[in-house]
Amino acid sequence: MNPKISVIVPVYKAEKYLHRCVDSILAQTFTDFEVLLIDDGSPDRSGEICDEYAKKDSRVRVFHKENGGVSSARNMGLDNAVSNWITFVDSDDWLDCSTLFICSQYLQDYDIIRFSATFIFDKLGKIKKIQKHKEYITKKSYVYDLLNRSIPLIGAAGGLYRKDKIDEFNIRFINDISNGEDWFFVCEYTILCANSVKTINVPLYNYDLSNDFSCTNTLSVKKYFESVYIFKKIETLLRLKGLYLDIIEYARIAIILDALLVFVKLNLSCKDLLYYRKKLFDEIPCPKITSIIKSNISLFHKLIICSIYFRYSFIATCIMLEIIYAKMFQFKNR
């Protein structure tokens, strides 16, 4: 008889973190699961560590492949999973021991289950921030927050998904994108497959941001514009299905706020700021002033967004934010 849940772990250069991750999965109080460790051509000992776990525990299955990126690794996991439900754990993160047990109580009644997370910012694990899911009365309100990137985890980690619906709609990760591909997976699944959404406000997923190679710590303009590309795919999907069209304008605001964050953190020159500002608006339309005013972002963020309409106010805002960010960074590192 097949297990109820398949836990897919893409593995690449994870030797330092892999034991913590896999041990947290095998220590689950709910035991009816399998673990798929996908060794994505890792050059370190990660593949050997995966094989060691498979020898010790029959619930662990290992797949070795040539390096193709995290999306191809997750897709291999989806192709080989045999359970009714799928969840994903990144190899440098870990689960609370009760994660699968708590989620298992909702498997009969929901199409997607999302749980809250603890974000760890330093290597000693002392600087933490818990982000909790709120409850959603309607699917539309959840989609709104998902598209506005205002939920604890916008990617595939931190959720359970029905395998039969994934296969029915042939939902897979985009192989040639390294940023935002899992956001699109969750959006596509939620929009097409999830008639009912359950969110859990208990932090069950531990997201390690202290890893120097994590996506969060390797910002780049290229990665940002990959998320713009993903946003455009989400917009195309919504327009094709005629769903949630009123949300699109507000989602653009979130994308532009992300742009300002990336541009500021990368400390771009004025010339580059203007270049990427133009490139951004060549890709997606600038949100309407009325939409910015009606959005539920803070007044500070509304003023920041409005600055993009004029070249020099945009540059001035970025410089101001760079100063604020630099002072905050210095304070945090004292």
Contacts of 285-293 with CB under 8 Å at 24 or more apart are: 285/252, 286/252, 286/256, 287/249, 287/250, 287/252, 287/253, 287/256, 288/249, 291/249, 291/250, 291/252, 291/253, 292/253
Residues 70, 76, 80, CA angle at the centre, nearest 5°? Answer: 145
pLDDT at site 305: 87
Among the listed residues 190, 111, 81, 84, the one whose alpha carbon sits nearest the alpha carbon of residue 146: 190
Instruction: Indicate the DSSP class of residue 199.
Output: E
* SS percent in the chain: helix, strand, coil, step 5: 50, 15, 35
| Ranges of the chain with pLDDT below 50 | 331-334
CA–CA distance, 249 with 139 (Å, rounded to integer): 18
The domain limits of the chain are: 5-216, 219-332
Give pLDDT, residue 214: 55
pLDDT tens for residues 15-39? 999 999 999 999 999 999 999 999 9
Dihedral of CA atoms 154, 158, 159, 163 in degrees, nearest 10, equals 100
Could you tell me if 234 and 145 are in contact, meaning their C-beta atoms sit under 8 angstroms apart?
A: no
If you search the block for the tokens 């390690």, which residue do you land on?
208
Spatial contact of 159 and 185, defined as CB atoms under 8 Å apart: no
Whole-number Cα distances in Å, 258 to 92, 287, 306? 24, 14, 14
The SS3 assignment for 80 reads helix
Nearest to 54 by CA among 82, 79, 26: 26
| CATH number assigned to the domain covering 5-216 | 3.90.550.10
Q: What 3-state DSSP class applies to 129?
A: strand
Predicted TM-score (pTM) of the model is 0.92
What's the residue count for the chain? 334
